[in-house]
Amino acid sequence: MQLALPVNAHLNKIKVLEDDRCTYCKKERGDTNHIIFGCEVHKDKIDILLKDLQTMQLALPVNVNYVLAQDQKDINCRLYKHLASCSIIV
């Protein structure tokens, strides 16, 4: 499974945007891992996601590639619910 987000770090790399900072916090480099697991704007929701992933037996720290590599429907559903709760369009 692949996750495709129009993240600023990638858009900057392919010369679509001049700035690679996160769309939400405008502070950190806006890559997929930052947006899903590290953006301070979504901190409360990220904390809940990380607790849920631990409950699903995923060891922390996690990154997007590790989570998707699990290829488990319940984990993928939880990740997509997190994205929706943060209004992140996939």
Other beta carbons less than 10 A from residue 77's beta carbon: 10
pTM of this prediction?
A: 0.79
Q: What is the pLDDT of residue 5?
A: 57
The alpha carbon of 26 is separated from its chain's Cα centroid by a whole number of angstroms, namely 15
Exposure of 46 in the CB half-sphere (CA atoms within 13 A): 17
Domain boundaries of the chain, sorted by first residue: 8-85
**Least confident piece of the model among 10-14, 40-44, 74-78:** 10-14
Alpha-carbon dihedral 11, 14, 16, 19, rounded to 10 degrees: 60
Express each pLDDT in 40-68 by its tens digit. Answer: 999 999 999 999 999 999 999 889 889 98
